[in-house]
Chains A and B, each alone.
Chain A
Amino acid sequence: MKFVGVDIGGTFTDLVVSDAGKLQIHKLLSTPHNPAEAMLAGLAAVGVTENARISHGSTVATNAILERKGARTALITTQGFRDVLEIGRQNRPVLYALYPQIPPPLIPRKWRYEVPERLDYTGKVLTPLNMKALDKVLDALVEQKIESVAVCFLYSFHNPAHEQKVRQRIVERGILQEWQVSLSYEVLPEFREYERTSTAAVDAYVRPVISRYLQHLEDNLPPQSTLLVMKSDGGVVSSNTARQQAAQTVLSGPAAGVIGAFHVASLAGYDHIITLDMGGTSTDVALCPGTPTRRAETEIDGLPLRIRLLDIETVGAGGGSIARLDAGGALRIGPESAGASPGPVIYGRGGQQMTVSDANAILGRLDAEHFLGGQMPLELSIAESMMGTLAKQMKLSREEAALGIIEIANVNIDRAVRRVSIARGHDPRDFTLMAFGGAGPLHACEIADRLQIPRVLVPRYPGVLCALGLLVADVIRDYGRAVLKPVTDETAQQMKAILGELIRQAQTDLAKEGIPEEAMFFKGRLDMRYQGQSYELTLPMNGNIVRDFHHTHAEIYGHAMPDRVVEIVNLRLQAIGTVEKPTFTPEEVIANDGSSAKIGEKVVYFREGEKSIPLFDRDKLTPGAAFIGPALIFQLDSTTFLPPYWHVRVDSYRNLILESQP
């Protein structure tokens, strides 16, 4: 069987094929009008004609939300509360805005319906669901040609009976099929009505879009092939499951990169990594302390989405980020970006503002002959004169200004790295920085220096880590149960019982995904807090949970409150079905100085002055090559900058291992 990872991005569609241990890479232009087209063309191009497992990540769901091109979706909710979705948390997104704006809700008021029903906060029925009123609402759904429905009643996470009845009635009357109805207690069995309603609305809004898209793919797959879909938490599921958990796929794009990065780094012997995925408009960073970390909430276009997702911080600093001097005389970078068009000034496509890439080019860190394999000429002279103008305003030299642009971009990224590491109680000095994306390897060492990170790893193929991540991702299913009980002597027994139930459910589900029993793994976790707090700490479900909680609270916040009651908010189960992964064979390491890969010299500007430094061709560097910076290492989709006092070696998988020399 062939394994294929397909990452459909905005500009390129990348395929990585693994066939009996051999890796094949293919890149082609995306087809945004119908993303499946590029994927199917790519499969044909790499000769995948039958018997393949195709793992796939796409931005179809994300784009449906950003462009408001999802289904005609209705909301059915408790009487009195149809505006919860629009009021949100009643705050404005920006504190100081003369004309504050909020993206419109996914479901307009006219399609938000109320029915009489009410539970109390324990889930007890105060007002039974009014079936007559419900039927009237369902008539309206037909009349309005509604394609999908989100149902969210107050306290449904304690008692889902009313939500279930609504779906049952919709199906019974033949108005929609079961998968077209998102019940909030299934999508997010947790308190906070706005976040739950919003998550259910996102789910319902993208379900028909995803479903149509996946159907189209499946209809065109090579024979005897299966389709897996990436979720935001870095796991894959069958396309059938993805249809029913549409919200889970919304932010899957950056997740695949983290999974790919972690796989490559672990193979090389580094499992404590911080990923640095720097592209044209933004940079994604994520912390993997032995495993990728997840969190439980995010936002998309101002809409809260509470799903399990990889803990990725995005910052608006990429190669195309624009530099400008503000009215107070400080140099700012981004978040505005020159994008792919017109792009940086050096692209010569009419860009009029200095960008991070321009700064790199002026300093000599990019090279016309080797940028994108020499296919893209660099217009250095215009960039130089524009940088000169900007530098004059700052009373700096052109090169100082360029160095400054890079420093500020790095500071912005540094702040994101701090958010995922220091702010979560991890010391970045214990990690390896895994650099990828077009610009990551160019900036990685200097960012590492800022944070005293001792090591940078640049993978063999930094441009296709997302596709690779798809190839190696395991099947992951998450389960949760609201508990909301103080810890007592009986707790351990009760939790064990719930965990057992969830595991049985998970075993059934994983079996349906084709996972054999010996490949199933389960991790139970508890969300805990002091009674009266609103935010939980998540702890593994073993050992003395109360003692561990006090300990963790003290570690994170500096104090524990041993006299306070500790309560369990949720029990969570993560079920993992490991999939067969392509094997990567290490090559023999033969020590050499890399000189056979040397392709010339070039003048590069440093803070201390200009210096001629050697250039290397990445493709010619063999395992065992090692030398000291400064140097530039070129490859088709990326350039690695090795500053002075940094040392590089090529490992047996042809990764670059860069280490700072004290």
Chain B
Amino acid sequence: MKSSKVDAISLEVFKNLFASVAEEMGVALRRASFSPNIKERLDFSCAVFDSTGRMVAQAAHIPVHLGSMPASVAAALSHFKTLNKGDVVILNDPYRGGTHLPDITMVSPVFSGKKLVFFVASRAHHADVGGMTPGSLPLSTELYQEGIIIPPVKLIEEGNVDKGVMALIAANSRTPDERWGDLDAQLAAHRIGEKRLLAMLEAHGLNRVQDHASALQDYSRRLTEAVISTIPDGVYEFEDALEGDGQQEYLIPIKVTLTVHDSTLTLDFTGSAPQVAGNLNAVEAIVKSAAFYCVRLLAEDDVPVNHGCFLPVIVITPPHSLLNPDFPAGVAVGNTETSQRIVDVILGAFAKALPHRIPAASQGSMNNFTFGGIQNGQPFVYYETIGGGHGGNPQGNGLSARHSHMTNTLNTPIEAVEFALPVRILEYSIREKSGGKGKHRGGDGIRRVYEFLSSATVTFNTERRRLVPYGLQGGKPGRPGKNAVVREDKTEEIVSAKHTTQVNAGDKIIIETPGGGGWGK
């Protein structure tokens, strides 16, 4: 039989094999799903874990899922003493392996004979899981207001689907049919993942496959250490802030102290704001995702994402804080807005160590916009995020009108939005001159105008409406964004960064997203 020896060659071979398992799971999920979030925007990730719950490979479309999927597998493992062949665990509780409630994660074991040898996991952002406002990203003050909380439960037990659990989840959504379809699509991804792993075991033998799973984790650790060693040893600090928690507008600081020592990087967020009353709290898994994302940006080689990547990166978050909140603090947009600001402060600190490598701040928001209501007795729900300007960088101008950092979801085509929802898009354009000036300009933001054809509840969860994305090395900051409502009387009312309101048919919403900061004089 084939030897179990690991060398430079077999490492590369197995890297490809594991990656293609995760990749194929994603293809199946996308094509069979119903939520525009999943099928059009690609707000999902799939991954393979070893039998101890350490990640081996991930096909992530979204960096914010990077460090947070392992927490899901850990939660499933700690909750259930034993998992059997044919089990699928489902969860979304941010305090037990989740990030925010719309991200529903499934975890299932893969058995070789009677032995549990791997796990596969999938996470997808479902368009609605209940809660105060359509789209499940409300201006909440506790988790209970954000939607159905799913602790780790078995959706499938030894091959038997618990239709009751499915029905319970679906019934708590404003669009139950869509939930059924999306959950089915996630299950399809798991079937494909299991099938591919079993084929791999058959071809290469269990020992060889498992030896390489752990060798790949070592490999990614080495690559990550190599990246960190390129940063000069030292202590670097940076601070920026969020603008309000949806309950109150005030500055909510995020501070990082970054210590580089040889090939270890410690990110200490002591000095960041205490836990907030609103929906901006971010569980620690999100902070880890952001930290790893920033390290990964510095890598010139393609680093396979797995457990090994996280080892040289130590994250410290103060207890009871914005970045390590206590149950049941609200977390709806900690995942999206807080995560972007964490990146801004980490990169800001990196810029002190590597002034000639780090780009200026990008738009620093995902510009979450949700709306929903009932038209002709039919409920409708919609969620989108909007791109903006990227920071200028040492090599050139920042990109305009694109998603940056912790997200990379696609837009939903206008011709798909209007087909499915009582809304009309009147303008979708690049917001000229919103990028910060500099030797290399920041990219421009986007202007998007909606006209409603039915009454609806709309919710903005945005940032950088007052505090601007910073420039670097003498570059000017980008322009902040704007949210406005135009009522029937044609008055344009500028609303705050986080806002919920009712609109009537004929009312318009205008969203302008921030420009990126400029780089260099």
A interface residue numbers (CB < 8 A to B) = 80-84, 86-87, 89-92, 95-102, 109, 120-121, 154-155, 191-195, 325-333, 394-396, 400, 403-404, 407-408, 411-412, 414-415, 418, 423, 530, 532-535, 553, 556-559, 561, 564
Contacts and interface: CB of A to CB of B under 8 A. Distances in A.
Contact of A92 (B296, B404, B419, B430): B404
A559 B429 CA distance: 40
The 8 residue pairs across chains A and B that have the minimum distance between CB atoms: A404-B9, A328-B223, A80-B427, A90-B387, A327-B226, A89-B410, A534-B39, A331-B8
Nearest to A157: B415
B399 to A, nearest CB: 6
Chain B interface residue bracket vs A:
35 or more
Interface in B215-255: 219-220, 222-223, 226-227
A95 B63 contact: yes
Contacts of B188: 557-559
Contacts of B226: 327-328
A551 to B, nearest CB: 15
The A interface is mostly helix, strand or loop, or mixed, namely loop
Contacts of A121: 415, 418-419
Contact of B192 (A86, A403, A558): A558
A80 B411 contact: no
Contacts of A403: 9
A415 B24 CA distance: 11
B156 to A, nearest CB: 12
B8 A90 contact: no
A81 B181 contact: no
Contacts of B20: 415, 418
Nearest to A484: B419
Contacts of A557: 28, 31-32, 185, 188
23 contacts: A83-B430, A87-B446, A90-B410, A91-B408, A99-B394, A100-B399, A155-B415, A191-B413, A193-B415, A195-B413, A327-B226, A329-B8, A330-B11, A330-B15, A331-B8, A395-B7, A407-B9, A408-B9, A408-B12, A530-B34, A533-B31, A533-B39, A553-B32
B374 interface: no
Interface in B377-431: 386-387, 390, 393-396, 399-404, 408-411, 413-416, 418-419, 424-430
Contact of A87 (B178, B227, B299, B401): B401
Interface in B262-306: 293, 296-299, 301, 303
Nearest to A391: B8
Contacts of A154: 414-415
Contacts of B12: 330-333, 408, 411
Given A90-B387, A404-B9, A99 B359 contact: yes
B177 interface: yes
Nearest to B362: A100
Given A327-B222, A394-B8, A535-B30, A86 B400 contact: yes
B167 interface: no
Contacts of A411: 12-13, 16-17
Contacts of A155: 415
Nearest to A537: B31
B411 A89 contact: yes
Contacts of B142: none
Contacts of A534: 36, 39-40, 416
Contacts of B219: 328-330
Contacts of A395: 7
B8 A193 contact: no
B499 interface: no
Nearest to B31: A535
B265 to A, nearest CB: 16
A326 B302 CA distance: 9
Contacts of B222: 327-329
Nearest to A190: B415
Contacts of A82: 429
A99 B24 contact: no
A394 B5 CA distance: 13
Given A80-B428, A411-B17, 20 more contacts: A81-B427, A83-B429, A87-B387, A87-B402, A87-B411, A92-B399, A92-B403, A96-B299, A99-B394, A100-B399, A191-B413, A327-B222, A404-B9, A407-B13, A533-B31, A557-B28, A557-B188, A558-B191, A561-B184, A564-B181
Contacts of A423: 24, 27
B8 A396 contact: yes
Which of A96, A333, A394, A418 counts the most B-chain CB atoms under 10 A from its CB?
Answer: A96
Given A80-B427, A80-B428, A327-B226, A192 B416 contact: yes
B315 interface: no
